[in-house]
Amino acid sequence: MLLPPKDRRMLRRRLVVSMLLLLAVLGIGGIAYSQLESADRGILPLDSSGTLEISGIHVDVGGEDAMSARYAGWKIAQRQGFKALWAKMHNAPISQAPNIPDSTLDDIVTSINVEREQIGPNRYIADLGVLFDRARAAAFLGVEGGEVRRSVPMLLIPVTVTAGTETSVELKNAWQRAWAQFRTSQSSIDYVRISGLGVDPMLVNAAQTERPGRGWWRNIIDLYGAADVLVAEVQLQRSYPGGPAKATFIAHHGPDNEVVGGFALTSQSGNVAALMAEGARRMDILFSNALAAGKLVRDSSLDLPAPPPLPVEEKPIETKPLNATNAFQIQIDSGGDVNVYNFGMAHLRTMGGITSATPQLINPTGTSYVLVNYAGSINQLAAALGGRGWAVSASGSVVKIKSASGKPPPLPPPPSATTPAQPAPAKTPAAAPAQPRGQGAGR
C-alpha cells in the first residue's frame, strides 16, 4: 500500500531525527568512555611486600673480560648490600655486619637492579641495587622477617605542578611512576598507592587535595581502605626542553593539606626519572621522621560523627500505696515433727498483716512451702515471725522458719475477754423491831 507524498515526507523526517539522536548519544558515550579508558593512563605499583632492597651500591672492578668483570661486580654488590641492610636493620655501623659466604647470598638475593652501568673490555663500573627475599634473609639478619613498625594505612596522592598545570593520576607522569616503582616494604609508612586506572582520576585528582569537605574525604579513604591521607607534591621547572631540571618537593598531610616539610633537587643532565626517584626516596624519609615525631596524627574530623541520642521517654515513678501487700514464700522446716507445720500454719493465719496464707507444697516431715501476702517488707515479716519464737532466715522473697527449741512455739494467748461487773443487790430497809404487847404508844 503506497502512502501519500505528504505522509512519506513526515516518515523520512522522523527517521532522520531518530538517527541524529542515536548518533548524539553514541558520541557522548564514546567521549566519556575515552576519558576514563585512555591508553595514556595507569601505572600499577610494584608489590614489594616480600622483598628488602638496598640501592645505590657503587662498584668498580676489573676482570679478564667484560662478562667476568660484570659478574665480579655483582658479587661485590651482594656482599656490600647485605652488610648495608644488616646495619640498617640493627641501626649499627656497617663495620659490625657479619660476613656470609657467596653461596648463601646467591640463595637469599632475588635480583640485581642496574641503575647505571659502564661496561669495558676488562672493567665494569656501575651503580646497582640488590633485592633480598624477606623470608630467607630474616634468619641471617637476626630480625623477625625484617618487619618494621608501620603507620596506619595512608592514601598517597602524587601531585605534579609543571607549566602551570596540576596533575595527579589523570595522565602518566614521572612522579607517579617514581612512587609506583618505590619499594615500600622497609618504610615505616603503610602507603596505599593508586594506579590511575578505572575511576581513580575522577575520585583522586589534584583538585581533590584542595577540597576541605570531610564527608567526601571519608568516602575516598574508606573506598581505598586507608585511614589517613598524604599528598606528595612536586613543582618541576626546566631551563629548556630536555635541559637541566629543578624540582621542589613538598610533603603534605591530612585533609587540610598541612605542610610536613620540603626540599629541592636539581638535575643538570635533565634526567627527570632519576630526579623523581630520588625525590620519592627523600620524601619517604620526611614522612617517616614526621611519624616518629608524632606529627602524622589522624584528624578527628575524619571519624564518623556520633549518632544523635535517642529520645528518652520519662516514665512516671510508680509509688506503691502504704497498705499494699507483697507476696513472699514461707518455707517451714518441720524437722520431722508434723506439729511444727501445724503450728507454723496457725501462726501465719493469726499474724497481723498477713492477709492470706496458701500452702503450695505440704511435707509434714520435711520442708513445706506456703505463699503469703503480707502488708510490709520481708524484714518486717521476718521480725514478726522471730518475735513469736521461730528461728528465721530471709533472703530475696523467701523466709525460712524452723523451731528454735525443737518444739513448736506456742501460740500467743487470745486477748482476755472483759466480763461486765454484776450490779450489787439493792438494800432493803430493815424491819422495825416488834413491840411487846401491851406496850404501845401512849394513848
295, 157: one domain: yes
Q: How confident is the model at residue 74 (pLDDT cuts 50, 70, 90)?
A: very high
Mean pLDDT of 77-97: 87
Is residue 5 assigned to a domain? no
How confident is the model at residue 61, as a pLDDT? 93
How confident is the model at residue 90, as a pLDDT? 81
342, 383: one domain: yes
pLDDT at residue 262 tops 80: yes
Task: Give the CATH number for residue 380.
Answer: 3.30.70
289, 232: one domain: yes
- Domain that includes residue 356, residue range: 326-403
Is residue 419 assigned to a domain? no
134, 247: one domain: no
Is residue 46 assigned to a domain? no
How confident is the model at residue 47, as a pLDDT? 64
Q: What is the DSSP string of 216-272?
A: HHHHHHHHTT-SEEEEEEEEEEESSTTS-EEEEEEEEETTTTEEEEEEEEEETT--H
Please give the Cα distance from 195 to 45 (Å, whole number). 6
175, 125: one domain: no
Is residue 45 assigned to a domain? no
208, 296: one domain: yes
Kind of pairing between the strands at 398-403 and 326-333: parallel
Model's pTM, two decimal places? Answer: 0.53
How confident is the model at residue 187, as a pLDDT? 83
Is residue 94 assigned to a domain? yes
Q: How confident is the model at residue 230 (pLDDT cuts 50, 70, 90)?
A: very high
Answer with the one of 141, 169, 195 that is the final residue of a domain: 141
In this structure, the number of other CB atoms found within 10 A of the CB of residue 118 comes to: 10
**pLDDT one-digit tens code per residue, 365-404:** 788 889 998 888 888 888 888 888 888 888 888 899 888 7
285, 374: one domain: no
For residue 101, what is its C-alpha cell? 659466604
For residue 166, what is its C-alpha cell? 596540576
How confident is the model at residue 321, as a pLDDT? 59
Is residue 22 assigned to a domain? no
279, 364: one domain: no
Q: What's the residue count for the chain? A: 443
Is residue 258 assigned to a domain? yes
Task: Give the CATH number for residue 203.
Answer: 3.40.50
Q: Indicate the number of domains in the chain.
A: 3
The amino acid sitting at 174 is A
In this structure, are residues 338 and 366 in contact, taking their beta carbons and an 8 Å threshold?
no
pLDDT at residue 435 tops 50: no
**pLDDT one-digit tens code per residue, 415-426:** 554 444 455 454
Mean pLDDT of 243-252: 93
Answer with the one of 119, 141, 163 that is the final residue of a domain: 141
193, 278: one domain: yes
137, 166: one domain: no
Which helix (H) or strand (E) segment holds residue 101: the answer is none
Is residue 17 assigned to a domain? no
Q: In this predicted model, which residue has the larger pLDDT, 437 or 130?
A: 130
Mean pLDDT of 163-180: 89
Question: Residues of the chain with pLDDT > 70: what percent?
Answer: 80
How confident is the model at residue 8, as a pLDDT? 58
How confident is the model at residue 428, as a pLDDT? 47
Mean pLDDT of 222-226: 90
64, 108: one domain: yes
Q: In this predicted model, which residue has the larger pLDDT, 1 or 191?
A: 191
249, 282: one domain: yes
